[in-house]
Amino acid sequence: MRGYTHLAFALAVASSIETLQHRNIITLPVAVAGISALMPDIDHPDSMIGRKVKPVSWFINKLPGHRTITHSLDFAVGLCPVVLLSSNFSYWAWMFALGYVSHLLLDSLTLNGIKLSIFRQDSTIGFRLVRTGGVVDTAIFIACLLILSFLITKHA
Ligand SMILES: [Zn+2]
């Protein structure tokens, strides 16, 4: 999925959670969810977050490659508890985990899928239904924008 779709999806889900808890949707935890939803694509120098940290992104892209370490389920299963434990299970850490996992969920829908394990390059898994940048990718982005627009007009 494109970076904008990951960002919009995470913001829509996080804002919906905030709304269900009768909170303002323009909060730091929602922003954390949006940023963490972009983080797995740090392994691609032309991604939204990769352009911001080009040397790091280039390094990760050249060694393990795109959709390897940062797009692995076992990496996420290791990273999210570390963030949660180091923040004493704070609310923003849960939003971090939500954003990161939402990225892997959406990328698992794409033709390239995600990795089950960073230790096995042949462990690609996913539904392989959606082409990145295709019609469904754009439809998900637009649906998330509509949800966000609704939430902002009703609850901001
Ligand atoms: Zn990705």
Closest CA to 72 of 32, 110, 124: 124
Closest CA to 6 of 42, 38, 31: 38
Contact 18, 29 (CB under 8 A): yes
Which tokens sit at 16? Answer: 């919906």
Domain count, the chain: 1
The overall average pLDDT reported for the chain is 95
Residue with tokens 């909060």: 27
Q: What integer pLDDT is reported at residue 66 of this predicted model?
A: 87
Spacing, Cα 120 to ligand 1 middle (Å): 18
Confidence of residue 156 (pLDDT cuts 50, 70, 90): low
Q: How many CB atoms lie within 10 A of CB 28?
A: 10
Spacing, Cα 44 to ligand 1 middle (Å): 9
Integer angstrom CA distances of residue 82 from 44, 90, 109: 24, 12, 26
Spacing, Cα 30 to ligand 1 middle (Å): 19
For 117, which DSSP code?
E
Spacing, Cα 7 to ligand 1 middle (Å): 11
For 118, which DSSP code?
T
The domain of 108 spans 3-155
Spacing, Cα 71 to ligand 1 middle (Å): 6
Q: What integer pLDDT is reported at residue 154 of this predicted model?
A: 86
Spacing, Cα 22 to ligand 1 middle (Å): 31
Tell me: the pLDDT tens digits for 47-94? 999 999 999 999 999 988 888 899 999 999 999 999 999 999 999 999
Mean of the pLDDT values across residues 116-124? 91
Spacing, Cα 125 to ligand 1 middle (Å): 13
Spacing, Cα 129 to ligand 1 middle (Å): 15
Helices (H), 27-90: 28-38, 54-62, 73-86
In 17-152, the DSSP E strands lie at 114-117, 120-125
Spacing, Cα 67 to ligand 1 middle (Å): 6
